[in-house]
Structure 1
Amino acid sequence: MFSLSPWIFATENCNLRCPYCFEGHVNKNMSKEVWSATSEHFIQLVQDHVIRRTHWRISGGEPFMVFDTWREFPLYMKKVLGGNFNAGIISNFTLLNDEIVRYLVENNIGCGVSLDGTIHSKVDINGNSTSKKVMENLEWFLDEGGRCNILTVLTDTNVETGEILDLAKFVVKHDLPWQVNSDIFVMLGNDYIEQMYQDVIEAIEYLTKSGYNMKKFSFQFLRPCSSCTDGCQAGRRLLSIHTDGSIYPCQTCEGDPIANIMTCDNIVNALKRQTAYPIGYNYERPEACHPDRCTASFHCKGSCKLNMAPGDENPKCQLIRRIHQYFVSNGYYAH
C-alpha cells in the first residue's frame, strides 16, 4: 500500500495577485458538503486498505481566507485515522492571527509558506510588498512552536536583486527547510537563466558554509543529499481536489476533471483509468530524460511531467543540469 496526498483547494480566492499563480482568483469556496465527502472518501480508502495513509495539503487561493469552513475537517480526520492522517497548509502567511496560530500549533499542523524575497516578494492588492509582514509572521509562528518550510519561486522580482541570498540567510537563521522552484518563470520565457544559476549557487554556497543541513534544501526535484528521487508523483501519489469537488491528477491541470469527489467510487481507480493527462499511471518517460541523454536523469526523473517538455533546448532542463552538475562536482551525492 502507498500514501495518497491530495492538494485540496479550500478556495480560489486570494488576497494577493501573484503573476505566476495558476489560480483564477475568483470567489469560489469549497462547501462543507464537498469537504465532508472528501473526508469520508479518504477515510474509506484507508479503512479498506486501498492506501496506507493520507497527507492533505490544504491550499487555495489563500486557505486562511476561509479558515472557518475547513478547520474542523483535519481534526475529524485525525480523530478517525490517527497516525494514518496528517495535514499541511500552503499559505502566503499574510493573514495569520492568534486563533490560527493556536490552531496550527496545538494540532501540530505544518505550513508551506510562500516567500519569494525579503524586499520585493508578493504584493498585496494595493501594490505593497508583503515580505516584511510574512517574515515577521514566520518568526512569530516559530516562536510559538509552529513548524514550516519556505517555498520560493524564482521570478523577475527576485533574480539579480540579492534577495535569494538574503532568503538563504533567513532560512539559516531559523533552520528551515527550503524549496526553490523555477518552472513557472522559465515556462513563461525569460532572459535571466544565467543570473538564476548564479543566484541559486550563491545561496547554496552560503547554506553550506553556514553549516546548514542540505537535506532540507531542494531545487526543483533535485535534492543535493539524496541519491535518487522519482520526481513529481502527480497522478499516482498526488492529485488535486478543486472547490466544486472536481478531481485532477495535478493541481496545475486545466480542462475536464477525471472525476468528482461527490460521485467518485474510488479515487485511486480514477487515477489509474484516466488518459486525459499524460502523467501518473500512463506516463511514459521521454527519451530526453533517459540516463544516456541527460546527466541529471538519475536524480531528476523528469521534473514537472505535465507542463515541461524536456530536451536540450528547454531552459528549465539546462538550468537543472547545471545545478545538478554543481552538486555532483562538490560531492553532495553519495553516488
Structure 2
Amino acid sequence: MKSERALLEERIFEMKQSLYNYCFKNGDNIIMFNARTNALAKLSLNEYEQLKKCDLGTKSTITKELKEALVYGGYLLEDKTNELDIVKNNVLASRFSNNILNLTIAPTSNCNFRCPYCFEKDVLRPGKMTDSTVNDIYKFIEKEMSHLEAVNITWYGGEPLLEMETICTLSKRLIELCKLNNVRYFASIITNGYLLTKEVMVKLIDCKIKNIQITLDGPKSYHDNRRYLIGKKPTFDRILNNIKDFGDISSNCNFPFISVRMNVDKNNIDGVNELKRLMTDSPYNRYINFYIAAVYDKSDVYNTYTYTSKEFKEIESSLKSEKSNDYKQYYPEAMATHCVCDTLTGLVIDADGSLYKCWEEMGDLEYCIGNISDFKYCSMNHIYYDYMLYNPLENKKCKNCSVLPICMGGGCLHRILRDGYNPDCDYIRKNIQKNIEKSYILMNNI
C-alpha cells in the first residue's frame, strides 16, 4: 500500500502553475501574485524552485504545507483543470446571481445645471416621477423580496435633489419593506451638490443614504466655466459651502464621507492639483474622498479635448499619493462583472419608468429595454442580451491574456459594445507588475 507521501508526490506530478501567476524577485525572496484569486505570497528561492519543478512534472521535495498553501492561493492547480473554465464559472455565477438587487433610480430627468460635456444634455426634459411609477418600482422590488439578501439603490438624474419628496417617500417605503423581510438596504446619491443644504443632508441621512457623490470640476475659476446653472450662473461657492456644512454634521451622524469627483479633460487639467490640495487639506480630509474621472465624449473621435484611456490612466496614476500607506490604490483586483449593465438584477429606471442597462443610455429610447410597469426578465430586446451575454473569453486576445480576470475585456462595456474599443486593456497589461510591486512595498510599511 502506498504511503501518504507517495500519493502526495504522485499528485504533485499532476499539478501545473496557474496561467495568471506573476512573480518578481525581492531580495532573497520571490513575490507572487495571482490575477484570478488576487492572492499575494512571499516564497523563498528554494520554495519557488519547488513550485517550478511541480509545473515541469519533475520530482519535487515540496512539503505538504507549501503545496496546500499554493493550491489555496491559486498558484498551483491540478493538471486536468481548465483554468479558463474557472474564470467562466465565476463570471456566470456573478452575472446571473439574483440575491442583490441593484437599481439606479432617476426621480427626475430634469437638471438645474447645463454642463456642456454632459452626455444627458440632449435628452434632459422637464417632469418628475409620478406616484404611479413610484408604486410600480415598489411593487417590482416587493416581488423580488423572496430571494434577496440586499437592495442597493443609487439615486441619479438629471438632478435627483430637485425631487427630494420622491426620494424620501420611496426610500422610507423600501426601508420598511426590507426590514420586514430581513433584507439589507443600502443607498447612495449622485448629485451636483447645489441643493445639498444642511436640511437636505439630514433628510438624506434619515433615508439611510450612506454615500454622496458631488462633482467639482476644479477650483472656482475652472468649475464655474464648466458646471453652471441655466443662464451660466456660477455654482462653485455654494457647493463648497454645502460641503463645509456637511463637515459640521457628519461627525454626529455616523456618515462615512462625501465623494468629490473631478471630471478631467484637456481644458481643466491644470486645475487638478489645486482642487486636490483643497479637498485633502484640513478640515476636509476627514470626510472627503477625492478622485478624478475622464470626460467621455463619443463625438470627440480624435480626442481634441478629451483624453484617451491610456493618457488618463497615466494622469490618474501620477496623482496617487506616494506618501500614502494605502496599498489598495495600486493593488490589482479581479472582477467578474463590470457594473449594473451586465448583472441580472441591475437596472436603470428613468423618471417615466423606462428601463435601461447603462445610465449613459438613459433617455435614449434606442437603448430602452422596457418599462418598470410591466417588466419581465424573459422579454428583453437585443440591448439587454448584448450586455448580459458579452463574453471576453470568446475573444482570442482576451482568452490568452494573463490579466483576463482583472480586465475582463477592457473596462466599460458601454464603450466596448457601442464604440468598439477596449479602453483599459493595454494600460492594465503594461502596469500590472509595477502596481503589484508598489502594493507589496506599501503592505510592508503598514
Please tell me the TM-score bracket, short chain as reference. 0.7 to 0.9
Deviations 1:246-305 (A, max 9, x none): 1112222331522211122x4x545xx442345442212262761634x65332323111
In the superposition, relative to structure 1, how do residues 317 and 96 fare at CA in structure 2: closer, same or farther (>3 Å)? same
Residue type of the alignment partner of 2:317: I
1:319-330 equivalence runs, <5 A: 326-330=434-438
Q: Which residue of 2 aligns with 1:118?
A: 219
1:47-58 equivalence runs, <5 A: 48-49=146-147, 51-58=148-155
1:68 to partner: Cα distance: 1.9
Q: Which residue of 2 aligns with 1:209?
A: 323
Q: Which residue of 2 aligns with 1:163?
A: 272
- Larger mean CA deviation between 299-308 and 28-37 belongs to 299-308
User: Is 2:292 the partner of 1:180?
Assistant: yes
Q: Which residue of 2 aligns with 1:8?
A: 105
Structure-1-length-normalised TM-score: 0.80
How far apart in 2 are the matches of 1:228 and 1:174?
Answer: 29
In the superposition, relative to structure 1, how do residues 241 and 125 fare at CA in structure 2: closer, same or farther (>3 Å)? same
Between structure 1 and structure 2, the one with the greater Rg is: 2
User: Is 2:260 the partner of 1:150?
Assistant: yes
* Unaligned stretches of 5+ residues in structure 1: 218-223
SS at match of 2:136: helix
SS at match of 1:151: strand
1:186 to partner: Cα distance: 7.4
In the superposition, relative to structure 1, how do residues 15 and 278 fare at CA in structure 2: closer, same or farther (>3 Å)? same
How far apart in 2 are the matches of 1:154 and 1:18?
Answer: 13
- Larger mean CA deviation between 112-121 and 322-331 belongs to 322-331
- 114, 129, 140: which is aligned to 2:245? 140
- 290, 307, 316: which is aligned to 1:200? 316
- Larger mean CA deviation between 181-190 and 308-317 belongs to 308-317
- Larger mean CA deviation between 150-159 and 254-263 belongs to 150-159
1:76 to partner: Cα distance: 1.1
How far apart in 1 are the matches of 2:387 and 2:138?
Answer: 23
Counterpart contact for 1:165–1:199, Cα < 8 Å: no
Structure-2-length-normalised TM-score: 0.62
1:310 to partner: Cα distance: 10
How far apart in 1 are the matches of 2:418 and 2:431?
Answer: 16
User: Is 2:202 the partner of 1:93?
Assistant: no
- Larger mean CA deviation between 281-290 and 73-82 belongs to 281-290
Counterpart contact for 1:296–1:325, Cα < 8 Å: no
1:53 to partner: Cα distance: 1.9
Q: Which residue of 2 aligns with 1:106?
A: 206
Deviations 1:158-188 (A, max 9, x none): 22x0415632661472354445332615773
Q: Which residue of 1 aligns with 2:70?
A: none
Q: Which residue of 2 aligns with 1:275?
A: 382
Q: CA RMSD in A?
A: 3.3
How far apart in 2 are the matches of 1:114 and 1:165?
Answer: 15
Residue type of the alignment partner of 2:193: F
User: Is 2:339 the partner of 1:229?
Assistant: no
Q: Which residue of 2 aligns with 1:257?
A: 368
How far apart in 1 are the matches of 2:107 and 2:233?
Answer: 25
User: Is 2:177 the partner of 1:68?
Assistant: no
Q: Which residue of 2 aligns with 1:221?
A: none
SS at match of 1:17: coil
1:210 to partner: Cα distance: 4.2
How far apart in 1 are the matches of 2:191 and 2:407?
Answer: 26
Q: How many residues align?
A: 316
